[in-house]
Structure 1
Amino acid sequence: KTFTHAQLRKAMAGIEWRDSAAFLDEIPAAYKDIDIVMADAADLVEIRHTLRQVVNVKGE
């Protein structure tokens, strides 16, 4: 209930996706920035590899 479908459309501009409210819970703003998470956990973890997302497919 935090985000709207209009916000989802704006966040997904330039990305191929099925424009459906079903994906509202997958809005990018719902996720923490991984770089901040890792920096906060720097004394607990050792970064060995950095992965880069190539594709993300979600079903409806």
Structure 2
Amino acid sequence: MLIHSSSQLLTLAGGPQRGRALGALGILENGAVVIRDEKIVAVGATDELRAAYPSVLSMDAL
């Protein structure tokens, strides 16, 4: 399943945060997520993931 076209997708890129890094979240504009077997297998820009996973069932996040 590809969930695409999210206006903003929040990520925790970089792993656990401590000290001053707390709150430094990754935000992807027009983001997408690919889920397979109940696991997230890819996160990125909608255009990139649609090209990389063309045959996956997709759903608009709007």
Q: What's the TM-score, normalizing by structure 1?
A: 0.29
Q: TM-score, normalised by structure 2?
A: 0.28
Q: Which has the higher strand share?
A: 2
Between Structure 1 and Structure 2, the one with more helix by share is 1
